[in-house]
Structure formats: C-alpha cells, structure tokens
Amino acid sequence: MFKINYYQKEKLLRNFFLVLMFAFLIINSFPIFWMMFSSFKNNNDILSGKVGFSRAKNDVIGMEIAGKDLYAFSQDGGIAKYDVDSKRSIGGVKINGRDVNYYIDQDYIYLANSTKGLYKIDRRSLIVKAKASNPVTGVDTNRLGNTSIIAYDDLVVFTIELEGMNKIFIYDKKDLTLKRTVRLNTEHSSFIRSLYVDGDKLYIGTNKYILVFNKSTFIEEKRIDLGENYYPAGVQKIKQIKGNELILLVQNGLYFINLNKAEVERRKDYGVNLFEDILIEGEKLFIVSPTGLRIVNMNTEKLYLDSNNLVRELKDGVIVDPKSNYTSGEATNLIANGDELIIGSSYGRISFMKDLKAKPYYSLQLPLGHRLVMVENYADLWKNIDFGLYLRNSIIISGFTMLFAMILATLASYALVRFNFPGNKAFGVSILATQMIPQIMYLIPIFIMFKWISDVSGVSIQGTHGGLTFIYTAFFVPFSIWILRSFFASIPVELEESARVDGCNAFQVFWKITLPLAIPGIVATGIYIFLQAWDELMFAWILTDSDTLTIPIGIRLFVGNYQNRYDLMMAAATVATLPVLLLFFLLQKHIVKGLTAGAVKG
Amino acid sequence: MLNTTGMSFWVKSKYYYNKYKIAYYFILPTMIAMILMHLFPIVQGLYMSFLRLNNFTLNQYLGAPFVGFDNFYDVMFNPSSPMRIGIYDAVRNTIIYSFLVTIGQTAVGMIVALMLSNEFKGRGLVRTLFMFSWIVPTYVTGILWGFMFQQSIGIINIILVDWLHLLAQKPFWLVGVNSIWAIIIPTIWRFWPFSMLMLLAGIQNVPQSLYDAAKIDGAGKWKTFWKITWPMLSPVWMILVLFGMIYNTYSFNIVIMMFGNGAGFPGKWGDLMMTNIFRNSFMRWDFGAGAATSVLLLLVMIVIVNFWYKHYKKTEEIF
C-alpha cells in the first residue's frame, strides 16, 4: 500500500477534478460542435443516421475508347485514363461536383456538373482549358438533377434537370462563353433529361416529350409525345437513331420512336426489369441490369445469353483488389472493344470480359469519391429561404432595442441609485414585479390592442420594426435597470460631491463624471439586452409579418415548408448562433463583470 | 432637509419636484414605456380574463361579452371545455420541469464554479468556453436538441445504443414519458452557466481567512463547503433559485421549438403552461381562457415569490 502525504493527496485530488472538469467541458460543448458539424453534412447522411461524412458515389457513368486509351468517367467528377492492353492507369483528373455528365469529341472532353458548371478539358493532357459557371443560379443544389451536355460544330449545349426549368444554354465551344439561351415551350412539370445530335437536328429528351430542334437555328421542328405509359423519372438516354427510328432508353425498356409519324411505335423490355445501359451491335443487343448481362436479338427477342456472373455485393468505400475478377452487380455502363466487353459499374468498378459466359477476367478500380463536406448548405440556405431578410430584421430590431433600452435603463437606474425621491421605492418594486408576470399575459392584450388600433385608425403597429422594438425596449428595461443599479452603486459618491462643489449642475455631474465611469457596465447591459432581443420568440411570432420576420420565426416557418432538411436547419441554427457567440467572445470580460456586479456587491 | 409637516400637498409636491427634477426627468421615459407596455396590457389582461374573447368577438376589443368567472371555471373544472383538456398535464409537467431545472442548473453551476475557483492555467478560457452554451439562443437550443433527440438518426441514441450499448434499443425521446427529460436536460444545459457565473463571483468574494480558519480547525473539504461556502453564498443562490423558478415556470422557447421545430404538439409529457396557453390563445383563438389561465399562473407565482421573498429578506436586504 502506498503511503502518500497530505500535499500529494491534495495534488492528486486537484488533478482528478481538473480531468473531470475538462471531460465535462467536452460533453457540454458537444451540442454546439454537433450543430456546426451537422451543418456541413449531406442531408442523406443525416437521414440515414451516418455519423461522419460519406463519400461521393463514384459509379461509372460512361466510358470511351480511343485507340489504346480507355477513358472512364465517374459520378463524382473523376476522369481516369487507362491503357487498354496493360490496364495501367495513365493519368486522371478530378473535378468534384454533383450530377456530373460529359461529352467527348476528337480533342476535348466537356464535363458538366450542377455545382460548379462546365469544363473543357484537353483529351490528351487532361488539363482544364476553359470553364464556365453553372448558369442556373439561385436554386438549392439539392433540387438540381442530372446535367446534360453535348458539343457540335462550334457550340456546346448545356442543360440541367430541374422542375419548371425549360431552358437550354448554348456556349461558344472555344472559350465557353454563354452565347444564347433557348426557352423550350414545355409544361412546368417537365424535366430536361438528355440531349442528342443527329444530322442537322438536336433532340432534346424531356420526361414528356422528345423535342426536335434545328441544331443551329434552334427552331422547334417536331414534338413527339411519349404518351401515358412512359416511366416518368426513367427517360435516361436518347441512344441511337437508325433510319427514321429513334431508340430511347428508359428504365423499363427501350422505346422505339417513329420519327416520321412522331409517335412511340413500340416498347420492348426483353424480360429485363431495370435497364441500366445497352449496347447495340447490329442485331445484337447487350443489356446490363442489376441482375446481370443479357444478350438478345433486338428484333426477334431471341435470347443469346443470360449471365449473372456479374452479381456481387460490394461495400461502399472499399477498394477491391484490382486483380480480383468480379464487378459489382449494379452495372451501369458497357462498351465494346473489339471482341471484349468492358462493363462499368457502381463503386467505380470496371470489368473486362472476353468469354461472356465466364466471370470478368480483369477488374479496375477507380479512385474513391471525395468526402461530401457540404459547404454549399450555407448557400442553399440563402437560396431556399429569405434568410438575409431575417438576419437583417433581427439585427435591426435587436440593435435598436439595445440602443433605446440602454439609454432608458442608464437614466432610470442612475436616478434610482442617486436620488431618494418620493416614489423611488415604489418604482424599484414595480421594476422587480414586472419580472414575475408571464409574458403571454402581456402578449394577449397587446395583440388585441394592436388589432383594435389598426381597425380604428388604420395604423398598423403589428408587423413593423418600430412596434416590436418599442415592446422589446419596454420589456428589457426593467432587468437592465436591475443590473445597472449595482453598477452605479459601486461608483463612489464622493466624486460627484466634489464636482458639485466645483460648480457642476446635476446633469453635468451625471454626464461628465458618472457616465464615463459606468460605460463598462452600460456596455455589458447593452450586450445582454441584445442577446435577449436576439433570443425572443413569442412576441416576434405574433407581432411580425412577412417583411419583419426575425430569425427564430424564419426558421420556424422554414421547417414547415422543408420537412426533414436537417442540413439546412443546422446551417440556419449555426448562422443564428455565430453572431452572438462572436459578440460574447469578444466582449465577455465586460459582460461577465457587468452581470456579476450584483452578485458581489455584498 | 426641509421640515415638510404642515405644508399643503401642492407646496410639498412642488418642493420635491424642484429638488428631484432631474431624477424625475430621468425616469420619465422608462415610466412612459412601462405604463404603455406593462401597466396598460396587464390591466387589460386582467379584464380580458372575464370576457368571452375569441375569434368571433375579437373585433369588439374590450366590448366582448362579459362572462364573469366562466373562463376560470372552464379552465379548471369544466370537463367539456377544450381548454380544460391537457391543462393538468401541463401543470404537472411545469411543476416537475421548473423544480428539476432550477435545482439542476444551480447544482451543476455550483459544482463547476467550485472547480473553477481553483487556480489553474487557462482558467479564463475554460470559463468562457463553458459560457458558450448560455449564449446559444434558446430557439436554437430547442431545434438542436430536438434534432439530437431524434429516435433513429439522433446522435444521443447513436451514442447510447450503437456506441456504448447502454440500452437494448433506441428509445423515443420526443414521444411519451421520456419527453419530460427531453425538455429538462436542454434547459439545464442552456441555463447552468449563468448560475455558475454568479456563484463563481460569489465564491471569489468569500474571505480567504474563513477557509484558513477552517483548515486550522481540521475541517475537510465537504464540511468546509457546507459550513462556509454554502451559507456565504446564500444571497447568490437564493436569488438564482428565485429567478430560476420564475423563468423556468414561464419557459417557452426551448419546448415549443423542440417538438416539430415549433410546428408540433409537445405531447402529454412535454407540454408546459406557457405552450398550453399559447396554443389555446393563438392557435385556438380563445383569448379569454388564455388570459384567465395566465392570471391563475400569475396568482400562484405571486404566492411563491412572496413566500421566497420573506425567506430571502432574513438573509439579505434586497433593496
């Protein structure tokens, strides 16, 4: 058994308490940390109960073969370049973003995403040559869907999937400057899903129509109604035009559209439930779907092969050994390279198949997606709700309340402390008494009184900055007086007496002697009032209208409109908290001193 | 001072006015504000508790039908009145909530103040960091804890169940009996630093000589606290408890924002008096009953404060 003396025991005990205190500090600060942390999270992560940041999906969205080079495009904005023979990586570039799409031509890759916009990338060196920002601004990024991009002649056409958005944007191919915007004549509920060029026509696929435009004049020539039996969200790609037949890839099958008659002629599903991608080689049709690979005759529907060798479960974020010869079941893409088939799938897998009945003989793994740290939540907050207005209203109302209440409280508390006038005691008691009356007891009559005033005189106080500021001033003055009293009491009276002797009048004494000494206390009280006014909910709830909403009411209304957008809610909470937190951090010495003056007066 | 006996009221008034002119000017703005926004509404509110004031009679202002004590009867006893539904739940919750939160915030504040009263490096910073939870606006506190208390995605259940395995399955915090804890804990979290601040200032004001004397007499830490610190701090914690009682009984923001972020009903175990009155007044548009309930609440509060004040006065002069 150790023998320890008194001082060692004291020291041990003190350190033990210190450790306890720091542990408690961490626990106590955790909610604030969690609020800020969550404000950077992806809402899907929050809703699925994921604690950290998840990675962007790196599913293969497309592949392209040019000579010996294999270009693979992934959903997180990555471009990887491989040598087809040696399967070795020979370069890559990554432009983080969402809703990525691409178009590749002889010299350049055109990459589009909804967060950052358009990029023109040199095909050989993979260097970004030009870029343009997303023309669709002011919209919550979560509402934006797939981008589509296509380049021909000297133009780049870009569009984005968004409800009610019916524009295509035309850029100059050379330096990606916006040349013109074309408005499509479509309904509000339509989405633009894909672009395709054939001959001198530009085909624009929406979820309701295929619009046929002249590709240089952008005049609508034809409109093909997809009819009622289409799958609304599933119009994926305009795949191919053969003669006067257009083949449209939809999740529930292929739609064959007769361009002359301008109508859907037939739909074929070839026994597949969910189409991911197809490859057409003459009569042969290769289909990849979650159940595997299927090869059929496009016209006779004769089945050549049904292989489910592809189906394997892969986990998110796991890099699989490149030599292991399987792919994920969720194949998304396929291309042919001579006699071999290359299949891209989810989680960034690319598999090479020669013998189509066997498993893939080789697999590649694209780099993992970037972590989804959503700084744009804050931008989305401003786009979704009029947060700037709420912030401004809160600052105006709290600021003026602070100013007026400070003035009133300073004067009144000075008078209370220094002058023993008749009614002094009654005034002091009434100030304390106001503190124990429930606020709602004021709110009900004030609300009805304001309503009556506006009915009688037509002057509406409800919903004005001034009305709320006046009410707040009246409400926060009593407690401010209570804080300031002890502060004024601590200033020695002798100073004032000597000033009086020197010939100052009563006001001069207050103005020149006492007030400068009391400034720290007044500032502290002012900050305290600001914090209180910033925090006020009940009066603002009832007495504001759409122009004077303060932050708490703004947040409350926002929640009603956007259920389950926890990411934006936490961002809003952070924005509401940070100004006061900063204010407190900068002025905490004064505030603490001012508030505790009453506690230590004895 | 002038001997004022035998002077007429007007002469006396004039004398006092001249002597304290500046003081009266100084309190005049505050007086006006308080008469307009405190006295006026309170008198009206008292009168409105006797009126049948709802969305049909709202335009008649104080001319709404006078119904005597009907509103009070409805609130307390009338089983068929919609106002009566849930009022006893709210009363019970408010008593539990106000009691536990006041004790909790004073106790936590006292413990941390004691820890902070020792000198160590970075004490000022630690105190500031502790104060942060007091700066977070109350409506944010409600939203934030409501988010953390979510059943399946909330971090509290993730920590308790998935990480620490303290519970077999994730409990519902915002539904059922647990919601009383879901409103108590955040309120303590939000308000304890203020108690800590006051108590710390009080502790630092206790003369060191008392502790030295206790040490010489061989008193342990426990005994020193209860015999010296606690009684010396009684003016501080008594006022804290008093104000805590008042503010917690009238607590509104945290609770209303926690359930459905201000759009939902707090439920049988989360409803407080203020949320109840607010709902009945401004969502069911029954202002008469709302005013009557607040008058009842005020009467109870006056009794409590009066009792506490008498007790407090023995310890320290408040004015």
DSSP result, B174-209: SSGGGHHHHHHHHHHHHHHHHHHHHHHHHHHHS-HH
Residue B8 pLDDT > 80, yes or no? no
| Opening angle at CA A37, ends A347 and B168, nearest 5 | 80
Question: A569 and B135 in contact by Cβ < 8 A?
Answer: no
pTM of the predicted model as reported, rounded to 2 decimal places: 0.87
A476, A529 Cβ separation under 8 angstroms: yes
* Percentage, residues of chain B above pLDDT 90: 52
Mean pLDDT of A360-370: 82
Name the residue with tokens 């370069």.
Answer: A91
User: Closest partner residue to A584 among B135, B278, B295, by Cβ?
Assistant: B135
- Say if A541 is an interface residue toward chain B (CB within 8 Å): yes
Q: Locate tokens 């049909």: which residue?
A: B56
The encoded tokens of residue B234 equal 């009684």
Q: Residue A343 in 3-state DSSP? A: strand
pLDDT at position A299 = 83
A138 CB-near residues (< 8 Å, 6+ apart): A383
Measured in degrees and rounded to the nearest 5, phi and psi for residue A338 equal 65, -120
Q: Alpha helices of A419-492 — where are they, by DSSP H?
A: 424-434, 439-457, 465-489
**Residues in contact with A535: Cβ distance below 8 Å, sequence separation at least 6, in sequence order:** A552, B137, B138, B139, B253
Q: Is the Cα dihedral A436, A438, A443, A448 positive or negative?
A: negative
Cβ within 8 Å of A, B 137-176 = 137-140, 143-145, 147-148, 152-153, 155, 158
Distance (Å, whole) CA A88 – CA A362: 12
- A204-263 pLDDT, tens digit each: 888 888 889 998 899 988 888 877 665 555 667 888 777 788 888 888 888 888 888 888
Confidence of residue B319 (pLDDT cuts 50, 70, 90): very low
**What integer is the mean pLDDT of A523-537?**
91
Nearest CA among B44, B217, B284, B91 for reference residue A452 = B44
A577 contacts B137? CB cut-off 8 A: yes
B31 contacts on A by Cβ (under 8 Å): 427
Query: What mean pLDDT is predicted for residues B4-9?
Result: 68
Q: Who wins on pLDDT, A461 or A598? A: A461
Q: Mind spelling out the 3-state secondary structure of A55-67?
A: ECCCCEEEEEEEC
> Which residue of B lies nearest to A560 if distances are taken between CA atoms?
B263
pLDDT of residue A1: 59
Would the CB atoms of A38 and B147 count as touching at under 8 Å?
yes
Task: Compute the C-alpha angle A100/A101/A103, nearest 5°.
Answer: 150
pLDDT band at A365 (very low <50, low <70, confident <90, very high): confident
Spatial separation of the C-alpha atoms in residues A447 and A405, rounded to whole Å: 22
3-state SS, residue A197: strand
Q: Which of A374, A271, A284, A14 is nearest to B114 (CA)?
A: A14
Per-residue pLDDT of A173-194, as tens digits, reads 988 999 999 988 887 777 888 8
pLDDT of residue A233: 56
Provide the 10 A C-beta neighbour count for residue A44: 12
What CA–CA distances, in Å, run from A557 to A560, A561, B90, B252? Answer: 5, 7, 25, 17
pLDDT beyond 90 at A444: yes
Interface contact A438, partner B, CB < 8 A: yes
Q: How far apart are CA A496 and CA A515, in angstroms?
A: 11
Q: What is the mean predicted confidence (pLDDT) over A340-355?
A: 83
Inter-chain residue contact A28 with B152, CB threshold 8 Å: no
Residue B2 has pLDDT above 50, yes or no: yes
pLDDT for position A321: 55
Give A507 to chain B, closest Cα distance, Å: 7
Q: How high is the mean pLDDT of chain A?
A: 85
CB contact under 8 Å between A31 and B145, yes or no, is yes
When pLDDT is averaged across residues B13-26 and rounded to a whole number, the result is 82
Cβ-contact A94, A78 below 8 angstroms: yes
CA distance A333 to A59: 9
Beta-bridge partner residues of A344: A333, A350
Task: Identify from A448, A483, A510, A514 which residue to disrupt to test chain B contact, counting B C-beta atoms within 10 A and taking the largest count.
Answer: A448
Residues 6+ apart with CB under 8 A from B121: none
Q: What distance in Å separates the CA atoms of residue A348 and residue A327, rounded to the nearest whole number? A: 9
pLDDT of residue B234: 86
Average pLDDT over residues A255-276: 84
Nearest Cβ partner for B24 among A421, A470, A581: A421
Q: Which positions 403-422 of A are in contact with B (Cβ < 8 Å)? A: 407-409, 411-412, 414-416, 418-419, 421-422
**pLDDT higher than threshold 50 for residue A274:** yes
Q: Is the pLDDT of residue A283 over 70?
A: yes
pLDDT at A563 over 80: no
Residue A28: its chain B contacts at CB < 8 A?
130, 133, 189
Structure confidence at residue A469 (pLDDT): 94
Q: Are strands A89-94 and A284-289 parallel, antiparallel or unpaired?
A: unpaired
Identify the pLDDT of residue A592.
84
Amino acid A359 reads K
Taking the C-alpha atoms of residue A181 and residue B263, their distance in angstroms, rounded to an integer, is 42
- List the beta bridge partners of residue A268: A254
**Which site among B1, B7, B19, B22 would you substitute to test the A interface, given the most A Cβ atoms closer than 10 Å to its Cβ?**
B22
Q: How does pLDDT run across B272-289, given as a tens digit for each residue?
A: 999 999 988 888 888 999
Kindly determine whether residue A470 and residue B48, on different chains, have CB atoms separated by under 8 Å.
no
Least Cα separation, residue B186 to chain A (angstroms): 10
The residue with greater pLDDT, B123 or B19, is: B123
Mean pLDDT throughout A450-454? 90
pLDDT value, residue A106: 86
pLDDT tens for each residue of A43-93: 888 998 888 888 888 888 889 898 889 999 998 889 999 998 888 888 889
In sign, the C-alpha dihedral spanning A182, A186, A191, A197 is: negative
**What is the 3-state secondary structure of B71-119?**
HHHHHHCCCCCCCCCCHHHHHHHHHHHHHHHHHHHHHHHHHHHHHHCCC
- Residues A438 and A125: their CA atoms lie apart, in Å, by 71
A136 touches chain B (CB under 8 A): no
Q: How many CB atoms lie within 10 A of CB A323?
A: 8
| Chain segment A303-331, per-residue pLDDT in tens | 888 877 665 545 544 555 544 545 555 77
Residue of A nearest to B234 (CA): A599
Contact yes or no for A600 and B204 at CB 8 A: yes
Between residues 44 and 83 of chain A, which touch chain B (CB distance below 8 Å)?
46-49, 51
Q: How many angstroms away from the CA of B7 is the closest CA of chain A?
A: 16
Higher pLDDT, A594 or A403: A403
- Chain B positions touching A600 (Cβ under 8 A) are 201-202, 204-205
- Segment B113-137 shows an average pLDDT of 91
**Alpha carbon A294 to chain centroid, angstroms:** 40
Sheet with A292-297, strands from edge to edge, namely: A277-281, A284-289, A292-297, A303-307
Confidence (pLDDT) at A135: 87
Q: Do B316 and A478 touch (CB under 8 A)?
A: no
Hey, is the C-beta of A143 within 8 angstroms of any chain B C-beta?
no
Name chain A contacts of B36, Cβ cutoff 8 Å: 474
Are B319 and A446 inside 8 Å of each other by CB?
no
Are the Cβ atoms of A436 and B298 closer than 8 angstroms? yes
Of A32, A422, A441, the CB nearest to B294: A441
End-to-end CA distance of chain A: 48
Contact between chains at B202 and A577 (C-beta distance less than 8 A): no
Residue B297: list chain A partners with CB under 8 A: 438
Indicate if the pLDDT at residue A598 is higher than 80: no
pLDDT score at A329: 55
Dihedrals phi, psi of A299, to nearest 5 degrees: -95, -45
pLDDT > 90 in chain A, percent: 27
A 502-521 near B (Cβ less than 8 A): 506-507, 510
Instruction: Tell me the mean pLDDT in the region B1-22.
Output: 73
pLDDT at residue A440 above 60?
Answer: yes
For residues A383 and A139, give the distance between their C-alpha atoms in angstroms, rounded to a whole number. 6
Query: In whole angstroms, what is the distance from residue A338 CA to residue A151 CA?
Result: 26
User: In which band, very low, low, confident or very high, does the pLDDT at A393 lie, cut at 50, 70 and 90?
Assistant: very high
Among A223-232, A340-349, A358-367, B43-52, top mean pLDDT goes to B43-52
CA-derived radius of gyration, chain B? 25
Rounded to an integer, what distance in angstroms lies between the CA atom of residue B249 and that of residue B71?
22
Using a CB-CB cut-off of 8 Å, the residues of chain A touching B189 are 28, 31
Q: Is the dihedral of CA B116, B119, B120, B124 positive or negative?
A: positive
The residue with greater pLDDT, A164 or B39, is: B39
Please, are residues B233 and B202 in contact by the beta-carbon 8 Å criterion? yes
pLDDT band of residue B318 (cuts 50, 70, 90) is very low
In the structure, what pLDDT confidence band is assigned to residue A599 with cuts at 50, 70 and 90?
A: low
CB contact at 8 A, A168 and A184: yes
State the Cα–Cα distance between residues A229 and A231, nearest whole angstrom.
Answer: 7
Binary contact (B135, A411; C-beta < 8 A): no
**DSSP one-letter code for A496:** H
Q: What is the pLDDT of residues A382-391, one digit of tens each?
A: 888 888 899 9
The encoded tokens of residue A576 equal: 């509401």
* Alpha carbon distance A391, A550 (integer Å): 7
Q: Which of A444, A455, A580 sits opposite B48 (nearest CB)?
A: A444
